[in-house]
Amino acid sequence: MTSFPTRRLRRLRNTEKMRELVQETYLSPKDLICPVFVQEDIETKKQAESMPAIERLPLSDVTNEVQEISDLGIPAIMLFGIPKSKDDEGNSAFADDGIVQKAISDIRKSFDDKIVIMSDVCLCQYTSSGHCGIIKDKKIHNDSSIATLAKIAVSQAKAGVDVVSPSAMMDGQVVAIRQSLDDAGFTDVAIMSHSAKHRSHFYSPFRDVAHCAPQFGDRKSYQVPYTNPREALREVETDINEGVDIVMIKPALSYLDLIAETKKRFNVPVSAYSVSGEYALVKAAANQGWVDEKDMTNEILYSIKRAGADMIVTYFAKSFASSFQG
Ligand code: PBG
């Protein structure tokens, strides 16, 4: 008797063409959503300290940036605004002439339906507290917060947004937004909720870029603890029951189990947000020469896709797309 192996999986790995033939997971720029930061009180682009190669843009640069993203074959952008003034009610978040509303309307005018315009719906960049909701009696008050989030969504819809993306983790935010959009006649505006947004240290570079760090306390009373996967899935289920169009798991890389489970259990499109900290880790190591940025990025993004994400919000969108070969 020979002791040769009879099952030889390496037969399928022998040549480049054979490997192509059996490839199971594909990723293309079409799967990606590119974040765009627009800041009200600046005249020229500002490099983000904590996120190399990411910039905060003045309004006048936004359409050029979107052109570049669209030319790379990326179908969608996610807008984040940095207003010049903050207050207790987050008034600049839902002003018709707010920075995000202006950016949406400029992009809509230049691109019509050639790009999907998504916009963050949250309060932390706009409130003096830096919290994602309205403070009452020193607490983040759920129901006044969702009323404000609904106002933000409607103001963005008026400006021409395609998809609003609530990220505040307030209970009932999806249904409140859906009702207000429908009442205002925006039945075609979709909702992509940050359904299971975890209380994560991976957001710290973003807070520095978007000027939205909480001024007291933390986000533990609204974001999901990373120890509680069943609670995260309950968040997803609740959003579906409230009429969400696309659910999101956030962050992505440390939460692949939840992406996979969400895909298996529910029949809605699943997005994953590969957040600022995931980007910063790769950038920092690559800058030291410890890892190859492109190889590491590919492996991370393919893993998120393999886990079940139908689309990925990522700061690597442009760099992935620019080296993508069909
Ligand atoms: C604000 C918001 C945050 C992120 C997206 N929207 C920060 C936070 O919740 O503290 C993080 C995104 C990233 O880290 O890339 N609600």
Domain containing residue 83: CATH number: 3.20.20.70
Check if 206 has its Cβ closer than 6 Å to any atom of ligand 1.
yes
Q: Distance between CA atoms of 242 and 150, rounded to whole angstroms?
A: 14
For 114-134, the pLDDT digits (tens) are: 999 999 999 999 999 999 999
Mean pLDDT in residue range 275-291: 98
Q: Is residue 19 part of a domain?
A: no
Check if 169 has its Cβ closer than 6 Å to any atom of ligand 1.
no
Reported confidence tier of residue 1, pLDDT bands at 50, 70, 90: low
Q: Is residue 18 part of a domain?
A: no
Whether 263 is a known active-site residue: answer no
Of the candidates 41, 43, 38, the residue with the CA atom closest to the CA atom of residue 66:
38
For 30-65, the pLDDT digits (tens) are: 999 999 999 999 999 999 989 999 999 999 999 999
Work out the percent of the chain whose per-residue pLDDT is above 90: 95
Residues 272, 252 contacting (CB under 8 angstroms): yes
Q: Is residue 300 part of a domain?
A: yes
Q: Is residue 13 part of a domain?
A: no
Domain of residue 97 covers 28-323
Q: Is residue 4 part of a domain?
A: no
Check if 212 has its Cβ closer than 6 Å to any atom of ligand 1.
yes
For 126-181, the pLDDT digits (tens) are: 999 999 999 998 899 999 999 999 999 999 999 999 999 999 999 999 999 999 99
The single residue of 102, 250, 263, 305 carrying the catalytic annotation is 250
Whether 197 is a known active-site residue: answer yes
Structurally, the chain folds into a number of domains equal to 1
Question: Which residue lies with its CA nearest to atom 9 of ligand 1?
Answer: 203
Q: Is residue 15 part of a domain?
A: no
Of the candidates 237, 228, 287, 224, the residue with the CA atom closest to the CA atom of residue 52:
287
Residues 285, 307 contacting (CB under 8 angstroms): no
**Tally of CB atoms within 10 A around 194:** 26
Say which amino acid occupies 221.
Answer: S
Q: Is residue 11 part of a domain?
A: no
Kindly give, in sequence order, each residue whose CB lies less than 8 Å from that of residue 61, ignoring residues fewer than 6 positions away: 45
Q: Is residue 9 part of a domain?
A: no
